[in-house]
Structure 1
Amino acid sequence: MTTFVLVPGAWLGAWAWEATAHALREHGHAALPVTLTGLGERSALATPEVGLETHIDDITAFVVEQDLRDVTLVAHSYAAVPVTGAAGRLGPRLERLVYLDSAPFAAGTCLLDVMTDDVVDQLHQQVAEHGDGWRLPLPPFELLSTFSTLEGLDEGQLDLMRTRATPQPFRTFEQRLTRPGELGPDVDRVVVACHDAKALLDAGVPTLSFLNQAPWRRFHLPTGHWPMLSAPDELAATLDSVVSSGYSGS
């Protein structure tokens, strides 16, 4: 049995993991979805001061305060940034790090750095016009689809995103990652690439080339960028395969 700590991407709360968590439990694992400060059922805690460091603290505290051990920490999309920051703080509690259609971030970078200038400009406009200058509501799907594939989502799932997504404190996108801790040599490092990440990895993007080499292991899940909604059972099966396929260490 593995303990999965599931961290959602932007605009989402623990609710987004419900079907995947249920399927993981059917595989015999513990599945613990996280809601970060200011999102989901914790939306009342949103303030202009909520930033990347807040979410790093959230993830670290979630693991430490519950005294979790042998954790498999799963980061979807935006969550790659705070998970990168939290992973190095967890020490021997962390057994495995899984980036789901995402990748680790380097010190000094932020989420906006991986977006094109025109997308960043449009997001700033959304914040100014619809988010009181500090919140980013879920963008219109035509804008969202320019930087994250909506493939596999039917109208019901898109409507679920519309109705349950909560505005993202924009400082979490702007604040830069500082001093991410070093991972222990025995931490299993995994990328589960959906169509977005697979395209980048297959293209040989130089900054991501290390993900195609040991100690990183790579799995493919043929769906769009929101697999916990578009393919929750398949995602759970893939995560189960990640665990059961084993890791030989450094």
Structure 2
Amino acid sequence: MIAAILPMASDPVPALCLQRTNDRRSSRHLGSFFMRFRGESNPSGALPVELRLDLAFAPFVIEPRCIPYCQTNDRCQMTTFILIPGGWRGGWTFDPVADLLTASGHKVLALTLPGLGDVPAPAANLSSHIEAAVQVAEDCADELILVGHSYGGMVVSGVADRARAKIRALVYVDAYVPETGESVWSLTSPDFRDIFIAGSQADGLTCVPPSNREPRCRPHPMATFLQAIILTGQWRDVPRKVYVGAHGWEGSPFRDLHERLSNDPDWQTYALNCGHNVPQLEPEALAEILLKQA
């Protein structure tokens, strides 16, 4: 194992610890991520080396995916996708989509926001989730495509409002698209408000996942659902805005939104006949839509 400390004075994270390891398992360390490399000495695509960057004290988890080996000596043209999951979920929910995007030569950063990984953060609110994602966006040198699923649409709008110049496209996947002063609570349906109330009975600070969610889901900080977003409107200046609706489930709070945006010339809309969990249910269709924005 090789370790080195790389100071980053401009970053709120104190330092990066660079380690060489043959362990391919996903790290459970808070704020860790993997960058995998393929080179000319390894054209078969095997991954003999992983570089693990442990972000000390980082409040969230980033899960980058490998960039496929480029068969020429020219620098590959790629786009960076930042994927923001919905309620109760971590970056893992985008795994099938991320695999398809990286296979096409792009970089993927799937975020697990504060409180939705292995470390609880019951005091997290919408502002802290947006701030965490803004830090990731500001550290990226490439043009960005922001993708938000469900609750993640709130975070996408907040990030785009603050970092508009770096963003090529916004993609909302069966997601909330808020105006300033709105919250998940104000935008969602009565049925989902009942879910939030029932799920937060234990401590009033977090909402436990509904019983039909995957075991990896985590209690969601309630303040992120309740806090109203404050926007300047700059997010509207992002060149491309895309909405992907999932029309195969009952009780969706997003159908009217999809219909309204379908009649807005500033938006491109798609409709998929599937349930709400689009990244897991229709990864190929979602990846195809995302690749059109790259």
TMscore range, shorter length = 0.7 to 0.9
Partner of residue 229, structure 1: 280
Tell me, yes or no, if structure 1 residue 133 matches structure 2 residue 204.
yes
Partner of residue 155, structure 1: none
Q: Distance in 2 between matches of 1:55 and 1:206?
A: 23
**Residues 221 and 238 in structure 1, CA contact (< 8 A), matched pair in contact too:** no
Shift of 1:180: 4.2
What amino acid does structure 2 have at the position aligned with 1:44? Answer: V
Partner of residue 215, structure 2: 163
Report Cα offsets for 1:95-145 as digits up to 9, x if no partner: 11111112410111110112333542342122113xx2211111133xxxx
Taking the TM superposition and a 5 Å limit, the aligned residue runs for 1:207-218 are 209-218=260-269
Q: Distance in 2 between matches of 1:37 and 1:214?
A: 35
Partner of residue 17, structure 1: 94
SS in 1 for 2:269: strand
**Residues 7 and 74 in structure 1, CA contact (< 8 A), matched pair in contact too:** yes
Structure that is richer in helix per residue? 1
Q: Distance in 1 between matches of 2:104 and 2:264?
A: 29
Match of 2:231 among 179, 182, 185: 179
Report Cα offsets for 1:29-57 as digits up to 9, x if no partner: 222111111112xx41413x210001110
Q: Distance in 2 between matches of 1:185 and 1:39?
A: 30
Structure that is richer in strand per residue? 2
Shift of 1:178: 1.4
Q: Distance in 2 between matches of 1:227 and 1:83?
A: 17
**Residues 83 and 94 in structure 2, CA contact (< 8 A), matched pair in contact too:** yes
Shift of 1:186: 5.2
SS in 1 for 2:151: helix
**Residues 84 and 155 in structure 2, CA contact (< 8 A), matched pair in contact too:** no
Match of 1:92 among 136, 143, 165: 165
Tell me, yes or no, if structure 1 residue 34 matches structure 2 residue 86.
no
SS in 2 for 1:229: helix
Taking the TM superposition and a 5 Å limit, the aligned residue runs for 1:114-133 are 114-129=187-202, 132-133=203-204
> Looking at both structures, which has the greater relative contact order when contacts are Cα pairs under 8 Å and sequence separation is at least 6?
1
Shift of 1:58: 1.0
Structure 2: state its 5+ residue gaps. Answer: 1-77
Match of 2:121 among 46, 56, 59: 46
Q: TM-score, normalised by structure 1?
A: 0.77
State how many pairs are aligned. Answer: 217
**Residues 201 and 212 in structure 1, CA contact (< 8 A), matched pair in contact too:** no
- Compute the RMSD of aligned alpha carbons: 2.7
Q: Distance in 2 between matches of 1:62 and 1:88?
A: 15
Partner of residue 146, structure 1: none
Partner of residue 156, structure 2: 83
Shift of 1:71: 0.4
Q: Distance in 2 between matches of 1:232 and 1:118?
A: 27
Q: Distance in 2 between matches of 1:69 and 1:51?
A: 28
Tell me, yes or no, if structure 1 residue 62 matches structure 2 residue 136.
yes
Taking the TM superposition and a 5 Å limit, the aligned residue runs for 1:188-199 are 188-195=240-247
Report Cα offsets for 1:165-184 as digits up to 9, x if no partner: 01100110011111344136
Question: Cα gap change, 1:186/1:33 in structure 2, threshold over 3 Å: closer, same or farther?
Answer: closer
SS in 2 for 1:44: coil
Q: Distance in 2 between matches of 1:81 and 1:168?
A: 14
Shift of 1:242: 3.9
* Identity across matched positions, percent: 29
Question: Cα gap change, 1:180/1:136 in structure 2, threshold over 3 Å: closer, same or farther?
Answer: farther
